Amino acid sequence: MLKFKEKTVLITGGGSGIGEAMAYQYALKGANVILTGRRLDPLERVKCKCEELGVKAWVKTVDVEQAESIDALVEWIRAEGHLIDFLLLNAGISQRALTFETDISVDRRLMEVNYFGGIYLVKALKDMFIERGVHIAVVSSVSGVFGFPVRSAYCASKHAIHGFYETIALEYPQIKTTIIIPGRIHTEVSKNALDGSGKATGVMDPGQANGYDVNKCARVAIKAIARGRHQKVIGGFDTIMVPFYKYVPWLFRLIARNVSAR
């Protein structure tokens, strides 16, 4: 995929999960990578693996909940003279609690991490993005297509992603957007999911443990980005809920009320 050769991709949440797997896919296609996340050690590990694939890689610790942290990233990008060609917004956090058992602070935190952090970064780099026609890929979820039990705040934050990035692509033709819509992928996301009080559950959901391989997910996603797809649903049998929701909504509701939310 020559479109990635010697280009630069900025990845949020690049130290684990889908972000890590996508970093390797970009690197395999010849793209240099800027990896951001909250923890330095995982970022350094991914950086070394990317460099072994023959590309340049940089790391920058960033907390997408904090505007000041994003501002520092933007200042660093400009000071280093980095020109971004692709952006992968992957930083995110999930939830495992019933709606009325979830403190409002948890709702706000999920919106800050999953939605506001990304749009703050995009707006901070808007001049570069407009000038260079940056291709934005954002990791949503099937929960961004429909509601699902014990994920009300998570669903809301992912629904917001769809509205924002679909609109950018309509307003600015030079900017492409790809919304990646994974089902259950085998990552640590459920362990890091917040309970109603805002604490990490520390529990691996059975559905997550048996989820779609993260490296396969990344390979499908990179092809969708290369082809300029606006959306791409990725995953196993659980993703059948997406067409059910669209074409047979009564069946979707029947399944969603009775299927294990874990």
Q: For residues 105-109, give the mean pLDDT.
A: 98
What is the average pLDDT across 187-207? 93
**pLDDT of res. 205:** 87
Mean pLDDT of the 184-208 span: 93
The pLDDT tens digits of the residues spanning 31-74 come to: 999 999 999 999 999 999 999 999 999 999 999 999 999 999 99
Of the candidates 58, 49, 52, the one whose C-alpha atom is nearest the C-alpha of residue 215 is 49
Question: What percent of the chain lies above the pLDDT cut of 90?
Answer: 90
pLDDT of residue 87 exceeding 70, the answer is yes
Query: What is the third-level CATH fold of 2-258?
Result: Rossmann fold (3.40.50)
Look at the block and give the residue holding tokens 């050690």: 41
Q: With cut-offs at 50, 70 and 90, classify the pLDDT of residue 9.
A: very high
Q: Is the distance from CB of 97 to CB of 110 less than 8 angstroms?
A: no
Comparing 215 with 254, the larger pLDDT belongs to 215
Please report the pLDDT score of residue 173 as a whole number: 95
Which single residue is written with the structure tokens 């990845």? 11
- Would you state the pLDDT for residue 260? 65
Q: In what order do the strands lie in the sheet with 57-61?
A: 57-61, 32-37, 8-12, 86-89, 135-139, 177-182, 231-234
What is the per-residue pLDDT for 207?
Answer: 82
Q: Which of 61-70, 162-171, 204-213 has the lowest mean pLDDT?
A: 204-213
Q: What is the mean pLDDT of the chain?
A: 95
Nearest to 215 by CA among 10, 39, 23: 23
* pLDDT higher than 70, residue 261: no
Q: Where are the domains of the chain?
A: 2-258
Please report the pLDDT score of residue 1 as a whole number: 63
Q: Considering the candidates 24, 26, 115, 154, report the single residue annotated as catalytic.
A: 154
Residue type (1 letter), 31: A
Annotation says 120 is catalytic: no
Confidence at 23, pLDDT banded by 50, 70, 90: very high
Asked whether the whole model's pTM tops 0.75, one would answer yes
DSSP state of 239: G
Query: Biggest alpha carbon distance in the chain?
Result: 54
Predicted confidence at residue 31, as pLDDT, reads 98
Distance (Å, whole) CA 99 – CA 121:
29
Q: How confident is the model at residue 168 (pLDDT cuts 50, 70, 90)?
A: very high
Identify the pLDDT of residue 256. 85
* 133-152 confidence digits (pLDDT tens): 999 999 999 999 999 999 99
pLDDT over 80 at 2, yes or no: no
